[in-house]
């Protein structure tokens, strides 16, 4: 499953280089994760930007909706 940022620093300078996921995309992902779990199928989720604090250089930048994404 591939996620993609829906806003960039050109449309919202506060986002910088962070991934910005809409409520619709998060809802869609939650639905797909539930379907996969119900079928006992593993799912890999990919996003260009890392979760903050997981790799070198990711202490300040990453995903705007990190808390919401982790809750899924």
d(CA 34, CA 16): 31
d(CA 43, CA 21): 19
* C-alpha distances out from residue 22 to 19, 53, 61, Å: 10, 22, 17
* Tens digits of residue pLDDT in 49-62: 888 888 888 887 78
- Residue 2: band (very low, low, confident or very high) from pLDDT cuts 50, 70, 90: very high
Mean pLDDT of the chain: 87
- Residue 9: band (very low, low, confident or very high) from pLDDT cuts 50, 70, 90: low
Check if the beta carbon of residue 32 is closer than 8 Å to that of residue 72. Answer: no
Stated pTM of the model: 0.78
Q: Is residue 46 predicted with pLDDT exceeding 70?
A: yes
């Amino acid at each position: 499953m591939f996620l993609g940022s829906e806003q960039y620093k050109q449309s919202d300078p506060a986002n910088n280089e962070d991934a910005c996921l809409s409520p619709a995309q998060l809802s869609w992902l939650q639905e797909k994760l539930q379907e996969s779990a119900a079928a006992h199928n593993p799912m890999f989720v990919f996003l260009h930007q890392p979760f903050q604090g997981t790799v070198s250089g990711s202490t300040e930048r990453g995903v705007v909706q990190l808390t919401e994404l982790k809750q899924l």
